Amino acid sequence: MSRREMLASAGLAATGWMMLNNAVGADNPGTNVEDRGASIRITGLKTYLQNNAIDILQPDCAHGGGISQIRKIATLAEAYNTSIAPHSIASFLGVTASFHAAAAVPNFLIHEFYPQGFDGILRKNWEVDKDGYASLPQGPGLGVEVDEVALAKVDPNKKFKWPGAKYPDGSIADY
C-alpha cells in the first residue's frame, strides 16, 4: 500500500499531511509499531522498496549506523525513487551529523528532530528560522563545539530519560 493509499484508508487524505509515520514495522510488515525509525538499516529494506511498500524512509543517524549508513540507505532508496526524511532523537551532535548526511543526498525530503539535553555543553553553529528551515552546519568537523568545563560538571551516573511530554489534560504529547 502506498503512502497515498494509507492516508486515504485512514481517512487522512484531505488533511494535507505529508506522511503517516511508522505505519509498517521494519521487521514485521503489516504491524503497527510506535517507533521503528532507529531500527531502519539497509538490510531488509530492498524487499520493501521492490514492493513499493515504503514511500519515505526515516533513518536515524545517531541510532541507526551513522552518516555512512544514512548515505547507503539514501542511495538504495534513490534507486527506487524513494525519499528520505531523517529522524533524530539525539543531542545537537547527532542532529548535526544527520544534517550533514541529509545535505549530501539528492533524495532528501525533510528532517525531523527532537534535540535531547546537553544544554550548555554542546554549542551548535546552525539555527532554525521561524518557518522551520535549518541552516547547514559550518566549520571544521561536524560543526559542534563541546564545552569541556561544563561537561566535567555532569554527573556520570545520571540516567538518560526519554522525553515524555504530556498535555495539561494528561494525554500524551509528541516529544
The reply to whether the predicted model has a pTM over 0.85 is no
Phi, psi (deg, nearest 5) at residue 71? -65, -40
- The grid coordinates listed for 149 are 568545563
pLDDT of residue 37: 45
- pLDDT tops 80 at residue 14: no
Share of the chain above pLDDT 90, in %: 23
Average pLDDT on 38-48 reads 67
State percent of the chain over pLDDT 70: 69
pLDDT of residue 26: 46
Which residues on adjacent β-strands are paired with residue 56?
83
Rounded Cα distance, 126 and 141, in Å: 14
Query: How many of the other CB atoms lie within 10 Å of CB of 37?
Result: 21
What's the confidence (pLDDT) of residue 175? 54
Give the residue, 1 or 152, on which the prediction is more confident: 152
CA dihedral 21, 22, 23, 28 (to 10 degrees): 170
In order of their start, the domains of the chain are 3-119 (3.20.20.120)
Q: What is the CA radius of gyration of the chain?
A: 18
Long-range residue pairs from 12-20, CB within 8 A, at least 24 positions apart, any chain: 18/56, 18/109, 18/110, 19/55, 19/56, 19/85
What residues contact 170, with CB distance under 8 A and at least 6 apart? none
Q: What is the Cα–Cα distance from 30 to 142, expressed in whole angstroms?
A: 37
pLDDT (tens digit per residue) in 102-126: 999 999 999 988 766 666 888 888 8
User: Is 87 a residue whose pLDDT tops 70?
Assistant: yes
What value does the mean pLDDT of the chain take? 77
Residue 35: pLDDT over 90: no
Q: For residue 77, what is the enclosing H or E element?
A: helix 66-79
Rounded to whole angstroms, how far apart are CA atoms 25 and 32? 6
CA 66, CA 151: separation in Å to the nearest integer?
23
Q: What is the pLDDT of residue 123?
A: 86
38 band by pLDDT with thresholds 50, 70 and 90: very low
Give the mean model confidence (pLDDT) for residues 28-50: 56
Q: What is the bridge-based pairing of β-strands 122-124 and 144-146?
A: antiparallel
